[in-house]
Amino acid sequence: MDLEQREINVGTISPYFEQYFGHKPTVVAASPGRVNLIGEHTDYNNGFVLPMALENNCVVAVAPSPTGKHRWCGSLGDTIYEIPVEEASEKGEPFWSNYVRGVVALLGRRGIEVGPVDMLIDSNVPRGGGLSSSAALEVAVCTALAAQFDADISSKDKALIGQAVEHEFVNVPCGIMDQFVSAHGKKGHALMLDCADLEYKLIPMDDPEVSVLVLDSAVKHSLADGAYGQRRKQCEEAARILNVPSLREADLQMVEATKAELGDVRYRRARHVVGENNRVQAFAGAIATRNWDAAGVAMRGSHASLRDDYEVSCPEVDTLVSLCDSIPSASSIYGARMTGGGFGGCIVALVKTKDVDKVGQELLDAYRAATGIETIYLVTRAGDGARVLSGK
């Protein structure tokens, strides 16, 4: 995975679009990836999450196709695929097209018929590292097609469409967080989302003294292999045993009192979710008051719980988090944790800005020494959510 900072915008994608399709795009839209600062595996349990949109985006350019068929290109230099309009709402090949097919199908259910379009996709959101490249794609495609066909789709509905695409076309039973922050993000702010009712608040995340460091473990993860769905099922079973609609309504006292009935695995899954909801709220209060030490405490607790109770970390990610306590510049790191669904991917850390590149390089060197793996890091700030860059 390449944590690239290559700039992409109207000017970088439009010439390629014209080269590929022989005419100019009529709409160019963008939507960001996200890094989740805290609140992992709480979203599908109706809990709290606190992500922020990245400055890295997926950009989608579209225009009516003169061929009567869809012509879609998944990335610069990729093959252009011709897809009959009547087949575009069904699963098909190549696999990445299912993210687009799903959006087309979901728009169709809302009475928005997507006629034949030429589409070119470009992205500098890292793939496979838990930074929501798929959500960025879904929301960007939805934003571009809604603009192209003059459809009034709210940011909330864009997020819900993206989530439904994951469920129906990609077989990932994800929560709403990734698509929601991709649609609603605001520059200079993190977003605290209540997944029970989709109420949210933007929290300033613009202290120049603190930077967000994302470092890739270089271990690729996949959430479609069953582990994600297995944990979701375990949480649903735990909620039934606790006699609550979801683990959002449980507290630690209830979980401890029902430990024997839950059994070891469900007990630990429930303990993570309930504890993580508490940590999200503590973290939100900490960053709102720029109490970065307290924010770091919540992040460290989150990682320990994800590693031990939810069991979604992996040795390489655990090594990276541990190195944050042992490198020479460890005192410049407020806290670190795995981010994303798990089983690989990235860690996220809050770091003193003046030392962030030194910290990044020390982590790269120490990680290579410990594992033999070469990797890369990204320093980011909170970016904007989905928007139309040009066109209608």
**In 284-302, which positions are buried (b, 16+ CB within 10 angstroms) versus exposed (e)?**
bebbeeeebebbbbbbbbb
How many C-beta neighbours within 10 Å does residue 305 have? 22
Distance CA 46, CA 2 (A): 32
What's the token pair of residue 101? 């097919």
Q: Which of the residues 43, 118, 178, 309 is marked catalytic?
A: 178
Distance CA 138, CA 306 (A): 27
Do 43 and 173 form a contact (C-beta atoms < 8 A)?
no
Asked about 122 being catalytic, the answer comes back as: no
Sign of CA dihedral 266, 271, 277, 279: negative
Pick from 178, 173, 160, 163: nearest CA to 31:
178
Distance CA 112, CA 109 (A): 7
Active site residues: 178
